[in-house]
């Protein structure tokens, strides 16, 4: 068997792994990166990019569907060409993937190994049983995989996860979406708007990522007005036939119901891809899910020369976090045993549903009791949102009593992908509510709704005396 000795071995050529490799090389370290699957990353191939491409098609369909409110008649021959929708998703997806694959293949071939990596000792990995890699430090950047729980794991032909859905040649006639988290809602709402009969099921009574009860109420009211949602159900039976999948479930009221769908989209979450890694050989203490504890500021596992980066670490399974963690892990692995702590960015997570969902900084459930205050603004009558016929939603902004600093927000409404950034930057800069209100706000814009929430927060924080009078000037419909 061939043996290779390097400074750092990296498992996974996804976003975190590629960033780790660049960082090690930048520092003059000798590294190899092992990949068992196709190059191109989860984000570009089956994640962020194809999901947003499908949503873009759904947005176009929704625009046509709702045009009449503006007096615009879209024509009687409008239809959705399923194969054309899926072709564009794949064409554009493949373009993004192509760039990543080209970049990856530019890395010197001696730095890239193909195969399944498995630990056989704390810093020794076996690749498909044909090559052994010894390293001073290891970066595990193995990503995550869709989780398929019972009773859905027996379904074969009709089951889809986000890993398969974008390769469908046509839109299905109907889909049962299992899971009402971010991925289930993003993909399911898009399918619904593209004319697919779509029903959502979840054993828990939750829609999206929110923890704030007031935001959750508004989300439920809004999504129920558009989507066929069944939460808090018990799935009794799932049967696959050549025609589709038959579901039998019990409603929270105890009623048993049945329905059949052409396809089942299971989107109940993703789990760190550790099953094939042989982590027992590392000597790390593993929890009941087989995962080690990872320090998010160093990405290190305990005091071992092993660093977990990206989704596999389970800290914040998002693209920008995977990039950061890859860099941190690469830097620390290259300079092992000199491990540096890195200040992490303010938390920011966005779901591209309509209305959009966003979490910034601390969530409602994480607010310190007694030392925080909340400001709120509804988007039901917000001027700019109403102009565009998108006037739905609620923003709740959290501040710290005494310092008047902005500490977080839960946001549901139009254009939240942009406003969440403004707030995340403010949170990270430790900005006070009065400093945020002193910033310019144009008119008429969606950000005026955020300003209403900030003004409310200033009142709740009893910070009015610290604000300038002009920061409470009125504008129509703000």
Ligand X SMILES: Cc1cc2nc3c(=O)[nH]c(=O)nc-3n(C[C@H](O)[C@H](O)[C@H](O)COP(=O)(O)OP(=O)(O)OC[C@H]3O[C@@H](n4cnc5c(N)ncnc54)[C@H](O)[C@@H]3O)c2cc1C
Q: Burial, 213: exposed, middle or buried (Cβ in 10 Å; 0-12, 13-18, 19+)?
A: exposed
Chain positions 158 to 217 lying near ligand X, rule: CB under 6 A, are 162, 183
356 interacts with ligand X by CB under 6 A? no
**What whole-number distance in Å separates Cα of residue 408 and Cα of residue 423?**
8
332 interacts with ligand X by CB under 6 A? no
DSSP string, 191-235: HHHTT-EEEEEESSS--TT---HHHHHHHHHHHHHHSEEEES-EE
CB under 6 A: which stretch of 315-323, 382-390, 431-439, 468-476 binds ligand X?
A: 315-323
Which residues are CB-contacts of 363 (< 8 A; sequence separation ≥ 6)? Answer: 211, 212, 408, 410
Minimum distance from CB of 419 to ligand X (Å)? 17
36 interacts with ligand X by CB under 6 A? yes
CB under 6 A: which stretch of 13-21, 198-206, 390-398, 467-475 binds ligand X?
A: 13-21
CB under 6 A: which stretch of 230-238, 280-288, 314-322, 370-378 binds ligand X?
A: 314-322
CB under 6 A: which stretch of 242-250, 304-312, 376-384, 385-393 binds ligand X?
A: 304-312
**What whole-number distance in Å separates Cα of residue 309 and Cα of residue 146?**
18
Contact pick of 8, 11, 31, 55 for ligand X (by CB under 6 A): 11
Q: Dig out the tokens for 368 from the structure.
A: 């310190």
C-beta of residue 376 within 8 angstroms of C-beta of residue 382: no
Buried b or exposed e, range 47-62, using 16+ CB within 10 angstroms: bbbbbbbbbebbeebb
Q: Are β-strands 124-127 and 131-140 bridged in parallel, bridged antiparallel, or unpaired?
A: antiparallel
Q: Burial, 81: exposed, middle or buried (Cβ in 10 Å; 0-12, 13-18, 19+)?
A: exposed
Mask for 413-452, x = binds ligand X (CB under 6 A): ----------------------------------------
Three-state secondary structure call for residue 355:
coil
Minimum distance from CB of 313 to ligand X (Å)? 8
Q: Are β-strands 2-11 and 131-140 bridged in parallel, bridged antiparallel, or unpaired?
A: parallel
**What whole-number distance in Å separates Cα of residue 217 and Cα of residue 394?**
10
Contact pick of 31, 41, 296, 452 for ligand X (by CB under 6 A): 41
299 interacts with ligand X by CB under 6 A? no
276 interacts with ligand X by CB under 6 A? yes
117 interacts with ligand X by CB under 6 A? yes
Contact pick of 9, 13, 265, 374 for ligand X (by CB under 6 A): 13
Contact pick of 176, 227, 322, 453 for ligand X (by CB under 6 A): 322
Minimum distance from CB of 115 to ligand X (Å)? 7
How big is the site for ligand X, counted in residues (CB under 6 A)?
Answer: 36
310 interacts with ligand X by CB under 6 A? yes
Closer residue to ligand X in complex, CB, 149/252: 149
C-beta of residue 284 within 8 angstroms of C-beta of residue 301: yes
Q: Dig out the tokens for 443 from the structure.
A: 């008119």
Q: What are phi and psi of 7, to 5 degrees?
A: -75, -50
Of all residues in this chain, which one has the CB nearest to ligand X in the complex?
14
Closer residue to ligand X in complex, CB, 35/448: 35
Contact pick of 4, 6, 48, 168 for ligand X (by CB under 6 A): 48
* Inter-axis angle of helices 182-193 and 48-65, nearest 10: 40
Q: Dig out the tokens for 313 from the structure.
A: 């670490």
Closer residue to ligand X in complex, CB, 32/183: 183
**What whole-number distance in Å separates Cα of residue 309 and Cα of residue 141?**
5
Contact pick of 273, 348, 406, 416 for ligand X (by CB under 6 A): 273
Binding interface with ligand X (CB under 6 A) = 11-17, 34-37, 41-43, 46-48, 51, 116-117, 141-143, 162, 183, 273, 276-277, 310-312, 317-320, 322
């Amino acid at each position: 068997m061939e043996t290779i000795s390097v400074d750092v071995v990296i498992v996974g050529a996804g976003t975190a792994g590629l960033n780790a490799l660049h960082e090690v090389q930048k520092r003059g370290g000798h590294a190899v990166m092992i990949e068992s699957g196709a190059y191109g990353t989860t984000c570009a191939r089956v994640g962020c990019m194809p999901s947003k491409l499908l949503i873009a098609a759904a947005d176009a369909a929704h625009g046509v569907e709702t045009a009449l409110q503006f007096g615009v008649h879209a024509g009687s021959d409008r239809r959705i060409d399923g194969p054309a929708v899926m072709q564009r998703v794949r064409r554009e997806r493949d373009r993004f993937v192509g760039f990543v694959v080209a970049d990856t293949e530019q890395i010197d071939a001696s730095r890239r190994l193909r195969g399944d990596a498995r630990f056989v000792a704390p810093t020794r990995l076996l690749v498909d049983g044909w090559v052994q890699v010894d390293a001073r430090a290891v970066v595990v950047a193995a990503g995550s995989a869709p989780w398929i729980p019972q009773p859905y794991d027996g379904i074969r032909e009709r089951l889809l996860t986000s890993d398969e859905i974008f390769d469908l040649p046509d839109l299905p006639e109907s889909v049962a979406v299992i899971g009402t988290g971010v991925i289930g809602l993003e993909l399911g709402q898009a399918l619904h708007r593209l004319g697919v009969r779509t029903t959502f099921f979840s054993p828990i009574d939750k829609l999206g990522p929110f923890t704030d009860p007031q935001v959750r109420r508004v989300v439920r009211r809004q999504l129920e007005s558009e989507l066929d949602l069944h939460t808090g159900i018990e799935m009794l039976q799932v049967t696959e036939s050549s025609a589709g999948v038959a579901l039998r479930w019990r409603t929270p009221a105890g009623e048993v119901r049945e329905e059949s769908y052409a396809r089942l989209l299971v989107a109940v979450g993703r789990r760190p891809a550790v099953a094939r890694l042989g982590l027992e050989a590392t000597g790390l203490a593993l929890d009941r899910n087989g995962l080690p504890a990872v320090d998010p500021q160093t990405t290190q596992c305990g005091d071992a020369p092993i660093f977990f980066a990206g989704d596999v670490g389970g800290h914040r399974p998002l693209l920008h976090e995977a990039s950061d963690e890859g860099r941190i892990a690469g830097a620390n692995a290259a300079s092992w045993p000199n491990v540096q702590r890195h200040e992490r960015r303010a938390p920011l997570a966005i779901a591209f549903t309509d209305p959009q969902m966003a979490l910034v900084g601390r969530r409602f459930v994480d607010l310190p009791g007694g030392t925080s205050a909340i400001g709120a603004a509804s988007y039901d009558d917000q001027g700019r949102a109403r102009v565009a016929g998108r006037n739905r939603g609620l923003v709740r902004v959290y501040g710290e009593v005494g310092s008047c600093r902005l500490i977080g927000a839960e946001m549901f409404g139009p254009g939240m992908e942009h406003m969440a950034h403004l707030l995340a930057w403010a949170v990270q800069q430790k900005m006070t509510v009065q400093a945020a209100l002193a910033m310019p706000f144009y008119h008429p814009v969606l950000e005026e709704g955020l300003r209403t929430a900030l003004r409310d927060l200033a009142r709740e924080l009893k910070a009015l005396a610290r604000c300038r009078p002009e920061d409470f000037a009125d504008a129509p419909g703000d």
